[in-house]
């Protein structure tokens, strides 16, 4: 008499399990490349003209001002053999002398470009890492013109990963005295920055406020 209810319960559980819809991908973008191939990754930074340039020591990465202030480096990616939907992008910059790190992580769709690859969008900094580097209260050297280590990892929704680590250097835009001020070693919030080299900012430009920058602003 006790076996029938037990069978009914088991039958009900089996029905519920079989009735569940299969999991769906969080977007309709196609898979990039081949699921059986090793993921590949390319990394670029954004220059002053909104163009992608390779992230390597031959192309110093531009320090740019985001809406929240300070200076960041915008880092974008191209990848293949990964799911394009809801990939986790993690980018870090390490000071090799102190091992201090600054990083940015975000979830992005790897937008296909028609070649089997996909990635960040040039005109959308939301699809690029925005790594905050200045004000420089973390590195023991001036951030412009000194070597750092750039590490980039992309992880898709299936846990497949593409990673790259490479040396990188940074630069301020010509004439951007605030960048040079905020990104120097030992900068403190509220510091007043005087121009260098007889009124030039040391990067081919001149100060625009009569010679001082109050608090780096």
pLDDT at 26: 85
**β-bridge partners, 102:** 93
Residue pointed to by tokens 């780096």: 216
pLDDT at 194: 58
Q: How far is CA 49 from the centre of its chain?
A: 18
Residues 44 and 53: their CA atoms lie apart, in Å, by: 5
The per-residue pLDDT string of the chain (217 residues; one tens digit each, 9 = 90 and over) reads: 445 444 334 344 444 445 565 567 889 999 999 999 999 999 999 999 999 999 999 999 999 999 888 999 999 999 999 999 999 999 999 999 999 999 999 999 999 999 999 999 999 999 999 999 999 999 999 999 999 999 999 999 999 999 999 999 999 999 999 999 999 999 988 777 655 443 433 333 333 333 222 333 3
pLDDT at 179: 95
Nearest to 171 by CA among 35, 46, 60, 31: 60
Residues 147 and 56: their CA atoms lie apart, in Å, by: 10
- Domains of the chain plus CATH, in order, are 40-174 (2.60.40.2550)
Q: What's this model's pTM, rounded to 2 decimal places?
A: 0.78
């Amino acid at each position: 008499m006790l076996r029938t209810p037990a069978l009914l319960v088991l039958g009900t559980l089996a029905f519920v399990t079989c009735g569940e819809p299969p999991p769906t991908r969080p977007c309709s973008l196609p898979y990039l490349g081949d699921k059986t191939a090793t993921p590949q990754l390319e990394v670029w930074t954004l220059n002053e003209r909104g163009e992608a340039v390779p992230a390597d020591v031959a192309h110093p990465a531009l320090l740019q001002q985001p809406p929240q202030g300070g200076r960041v480096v915008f880092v974008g990616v191209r990848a293949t053999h990964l799911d394009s939907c809801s990939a986790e992008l993690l980018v870090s910059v390490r000071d090799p002398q102190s091992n201090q790190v600054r990083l940015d992580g975000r979830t992005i769709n790897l937008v296909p470009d028609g070649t089997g690859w996909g990635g960040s969008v040039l005109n959308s900094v939301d699809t690029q890492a925005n790594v905050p580097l200045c004000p420089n209260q973390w590195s023991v050297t001036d951030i412009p013109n000194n070597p750092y280590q750039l590490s980039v990892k992309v992880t898709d929704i299936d846990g497949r990963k593409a990673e790259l680590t490479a040396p990188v250097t940074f630069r301020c835009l010509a004439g951007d005295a605030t960048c040079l001020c905020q990104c120097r070693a030992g900068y403190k919030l509220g510091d007043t920055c005087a121009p260098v080299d007889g009124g030039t900012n040391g990067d081919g430009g001149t100060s625009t406020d009569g010679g001082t920058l109050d608090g780096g602003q």
